[in-house]
Structure 1
Amino acid sequence: MSWSDIFYPGNPERRERLIRKTQELRLLMKNNFRATNQLIEALKEHLGLFFSPVILNENATVKQNCDVIIGRIREIQVEVAKIDQRMKEKLEPTLYEKLKNMYLPDYEYKQFSSIISAVCGATGLASTFLVGWLITNGYILTNVALACGLLATGFMASVVVGVLFMGIDMIVSAILGSIERDQLESALAEYDRALKEFRPASEKYQDNITYVKVRLEITRRVGNYIHSFF
């Protein structure tokens, strides 16, 4: 036990709380990178859009890694905005609303598919579904980018990500040093504020990318089945 712990007996418990929050942050960041790469793969396969995969750099800071995610999401948003605008121009308003709401009746499959092909150079019901999902759920991309931006300006911004993968003693040494009770409480409060925004945005983002992967596979099979009748 350190002299700090003798004078501030609550510090060990505060350190443990900070470590748990650090571990949660690490997991959320890893999963956000993974989900982003899954979205990138779907965009390439179904819409022919090419983006470099994002890589979690353990030698870089939390801010630098957040900036990578934010940058790639903004690039994707630019392309989604272009597709959305072209869909509005190509489709009748009622058809555009059906696409946006992902209400795609079988008998209108060929009409949607042909326009998606003209706009994106891609064919198939899976491509149509992905376009509709991207247009409808653009806010999910925005929310996770904003949450990353908040995290990149806080207490953890300058911490090297590799530190988050170390054991408790190493994390305490690298992050906390000799700070005392008040500083620990301040760090915990900042973590709580950041995670309050980052956690739900990240979980929603990850859940939606998983949903898209499953739906794309189902839609691909349905599209192949429908295509055989036309």
Structure 2
Amino acid sequence: MTLKDLIYPNNPKRRDEVTQLHQQLLDCMAENFQQTNKLILSLNKHLQCQLNPTEMRRSGTIKENCDIFIKSMAEIQQEVQKIDGQLRSLLEPTHYQKLHELKGPETQKIEIAQKVVSVILGKATSTASAIIVKLISSNVTTVIINKLVTLLAQISASVLGTVGVAVLGLGIDVIIGAILGAVERDKLEASVKEYETYLAEFKPASESYQEAIVSVTLKLEEMFQ
């Protein structure tokens, strides 16, 4: 144990806490990337989209990975808007409006799209298109995605954004530097507070996002079995 650890005995514990919180943040981000790639694969396979898979940069910073994820989500939403545009052009205005606003069962929405679009696009594709637009463009899912993207942008702009993704393998001193015990204590306490603040929102937002994406992906796969 170093002299500064003897004088400030809680610092090692604080380092461990920062390390654990950092890992929790990475775990959430990694799962978000994984689920997003499953959606991308499904969209490319079944709806002939041309989206590139996204991947965490293990040698990058948290900011770099937040930016990568945000860019990927923007590309997916653009594809969905393109599909929505196709539905708009193929459906009667009243049917298109009902597709988005109808409060009845989901099957009714699908039937509306199928009646007009299936002859042109094929039944499976028209059904998938209707579900994708409904699920990803719905108010609930849009709020979930926007909240996650907003949180990622905030994390990216924070002090945490400068921390390397692979920092755990290098030791927590990469974050705090070789500094005096009192300064280290203050920086560790500030880091713990910042991690906890963001994780309190980021973890549930990530879980909601992952559930929404799993729902979309499963429905797509079910349709093409």
Question: For residues 113 and 213 of structure 1, what CA distance do their matches in structure 2 show?
Answer: 21
Matched, 1:104 2:107: yes
Q: Choose the corresponding residue for 1:193, options 192, 197, 213.
A: 197
**One of 170, 192, 203 as aligned partner of 2:207:** 203
Q: Is this contact kept in 2: 1:48–1:122, CA < 8 A? A: no
2:121 corresponds, among 114, 117, 129, to 117
Pick which of 173-182 and 184-193 moved more. 173-182
User: Does the aligned pair in 1 maintain the 2:32–2:206 contact within 8 Å?
Assistant: yes
Unpaired runs of 5+ in structure 1? 222-230
1:13-46 per-residue CA deviation (whole Å, 9 max, x = no partner) reads 2112111101101111211111111111122123
Alpha-carbon distance, 1:182 to partner: 1.1
Cα gap change, 1:159/1:27 in structure 2, threshold over 3 Å: closer, same or farther?
Answer: same
SS at match of 1:59: coil
1:183 maps onto 2:187 in alignment: yes
2:135 maps to 1:133: yes
Aligned length: 214
1:130 to partner: Cα distance: 2.1
Trace 1:1-150 onto structure 2 (pairs within 5 A): 1-88=1-88, 90=91, 91-92=93-94, 93-98=97-102, 103-105=106-108, 108=112, 110-111=114-115, 113-114=117-118, 117=121, 123-136=125-138, 137-150=141-154
Letter matched to residue 159 of structure 2 = F
Following superposition, the deviation at residue 108 of structure 1 comes to 4.7
* Equivalent in 144, 152, 161 of residue 156 of structure 2: 152
Instruction: Name the CA shift for 1:24/1:112 in 2 (closer, same or farther; >3 Å).
Output: farther
Q: Which residue of 2 aligns with 1:225?
A: none
| Contact kept? 1:155, 1:191, Cα under 8 Å | no
Q: Matched residues, percent identical?
A: 34
TM-score (norm 1): 0.80
TM-score, normalized by length of structure 2? Answer: 0.82
Equivalent pair of 1:151/1:198 in contact (CA under 8 Å)? no
Distance change (3 Å), C-alpha of 1:133 and 1:9: same
- Note if contact 1:116-1:128 (Cα within 8 Å) is conserved in structure 2: no
C-alpha distance in 2 between matches for 1:102 and 1:65: 38
